[in-house]
Chain A
Amino acid sequence: MPNIPKMLNILYNKVSIDPQYFAWYFKRYMEFENKKLDELLDQLSTDEIGYYHIALCKAPNGSGKDFTNSLNTVSDFTKINIFPLLQIVRSVDNMVAFKENPDAVSSTLMAAREKDSTDTPSKKNNEF
């Protein structure tokens, strides 16, 4: 593992408390998924310096075209595949939403499950 320059580490710690940055997402993701840094590096297919550089980038916000453009820009700059980044952002957003309002999320999930179970037979019927 390379030595991380002190300045990079300090900057990383500063932005890791700001949900605008990937650093914040990475820290939350490791915490929620109980993953170590090595595992995250594997998932992102990058080294430690690369990880710190992505961490300084702003994470995409909201949805739609801007979200995709922003994610593409980061992916293009860091040479990291867009999918693991997307997966991390989505998982953390969902987990944070669940933590903040577990009732709303669980009722949405239940409704989705109910819908799924009622949809499935008809879909099957249509297929026949």
Chain B
Amino acid sequence: MKVNCDEKIIENLLLKKDPTILAQLYIAYADELLCFFLNKYQTFQNDPTDLISIITDSLLKLTQSPNKFNPQLSALKTYIYNDINGDIINALGKRITQKNSVHYNVVELDSINWNIDLGDINANLDQKDLEFKMKAYFAKVFPEILDQELAWMIVIDKTRETEKFGTILNIEQKDLKEKEEIVKRTKDRINVKLKRNGFKEFLKNLRRNA
């Protein structure tokens, strides 16, 4: 098997719609992706079937619509990781809704209310461009990827459920009260950091330029 380990070569093959691309993506990334997400989301460790299904769907989706990947916005690996991560968060969200066991254990939003309405920005800015600018901003403010994801959940997705934060923070095993406290502290920390780094100004600029 002639395997291409160079990410740039794989990117080119993907964009060229090479007939071997799915096999190449599988060989290059499958094991790494599975290990990474099994470590990140321990909820899949007993039975990784759902995680495997999400990863395979993501690889298939990418080969079917390679143009969704824009090499100018991110590296291929980053794109794949973000795509899978988003799908996992959605899947876990659905799981929680289906189970309905934790019915809106909402941690009330902190004293800082961003009151962000992205509607006007969304309307005038290309969705991909907006996403890119937001991600770039979060990456600048938060060196940790986990914090970037949390900021995204708080500000963009407006996630409120403790369970969703619990999954990301890997504190699913803790009891509800403890989870709520950790999530509240985490949200406060993210919000304070955003405030200190002029997030409101950033949004104003974004609106002005939209």
Instruction: Decide if A19 is an interface residue (CB 8 Å cutoff).
Output: no
User: Quick one: CB contact mask for B12-50 with A, threshold 8 Å, 1 for yes?
Assistant: 000000111011101100110010000000000000110
Instruction: Decide if B151 is an interface residue (CB 8 Å cutoff).
Output: no
Instruction: Decide if A113 is an interface residue (CB 8 Å cutoff).
Output: no
Residues B53 and A10 in contact, CB atoms below 8 Å apart: yes
Residues A74 and B20 in contact, CB atoms below 8 Å apart: yes
Return the chain B residue nearest A60 by Cβ: B19
In terms of DSSP, what is the predominant structure of the interface of chain B? helix
Q: Which residues from A are CB-within-8-Å of B55? A: 7
Return the chain A residue nearest B57 by Cβ: A14
In terms of DSSP, what is the predominant structure of the interface of chain A? helix
User: Quick one: CB contact mask for A71-113 with B, threshold 8 Å, 1 for yes?
Assistant: 0011011110000000000000000000000000000000000
Instruction: Decide if B52 is an interface residue (CB 8 Å cutoff).
Output: yes
Instruction: Give A52 Cβ to nearest chain B Cβ, in Å.
Output: 9
Task: Provide the bound-state CA to CA distance between A60 and B19, in Å.
Answer: 8
Chain A contributes a number of interface residues (CB within 8 A of B) equal to 24
Task: Provide the bound-state CA to CA distance between A31 and B49, in Å.
Answer: 28
Residues A54 and B56 in contact, CB atoms below 8 Å apart: no
Whether A73 contacts B52 in the complex (CB less than 8 A), given A11-B26, A15-B60, A56-B26, comes out as no
Residues B52 and A7 in contact, CB atoms below 8 Å apart: yes
Q: Which residues from A are CB-within-8-Å of B56? A: 7, 10-11, 14
Instruction: Decide if B145 is an interface residue (CB 8 Å cutoff).
Output: no
Return the chain B residue nearest A77 by Cβ: B20
Residues B52 and A57 in contact, CB atoms below 8 Å apart: no
Residues B18 and A11 in contact, CB atoms below 8 Å apart: no
Instruction: How many A-B residue pairs have C-beta atoms within 8 angstroms? Tell me.
Output: 64
Interface size class of B (residues with CB under 8 A): 20 to 34
Instruction: Give B177 Cβ to nearest chain A Cβ, in Å.
Output: 37
Return the chain A residue nearest B30 by Cβ: A7
Residues A7 and B1 in contact, CB atoms below 8 Å apart: no
Task: Provide the bound-state CA to CA distance between A73 and B21, in Å.
Answer: 11
Q: Which residues from A are CB-within-8-Å of B59? A: 11
Task: Provide the bound-state CA to CA distance between A8 and B57, in Å.
Answer: 12
Instruction: Decide if A58 is an interface residue (CB 8 Å cutoff).
Output: yes
Instruction: Decide if B99 is an interface residue (CB 8 Å cutoff).
Output: no
Q: Which residues from A are CB-within-8-Å of B1? A: 50, 53, 77-79
Instruction: Decide if B2 is an interface residue (CB 8 Å cutoff).
Output: yes
| 13 pairs from A and B in contact (CB 8 Å cutoff) | A7-B26, A7-B30, A8-B26, A8-B30, A10-B56, A54-B23, A56-B22, A56-B26, A58-B20, A59-B19, A60-B19, A70-B19, A77-B2
**Which of B's residues lie within 8 Å of A, judged by CB?**
1-2, 18-20, 22-24, 26-27, 30-31, 34, 48-49, 52-53, 55-57, 59-60
**Closest 6 pairs between A and B when the two form their complex, measured CB to CB:** A58-B19, A56-B23, A77-B20, A56-B22, A11-B56, A53-B23
Q: Given A14-B57, A74-B20, A77-B23, output 16 extra A-B contacts at Cβ < 8 Å.
A: A7-B30, A7-B34, A7-B52, A10-B49, A11-B56, A11-B60, A14-B56, A21-B22, A56-B20, A56-B22, A56-B26, A57-B22, A57-B23, A58-B22, A77-B24, A78-B1
**Which of A's residues lie within 8 Å of B, judged by CB?**
5-8, 10-11, 14-15, 21, 50, 53-54, 56-60, 70, 73-74, 76-79
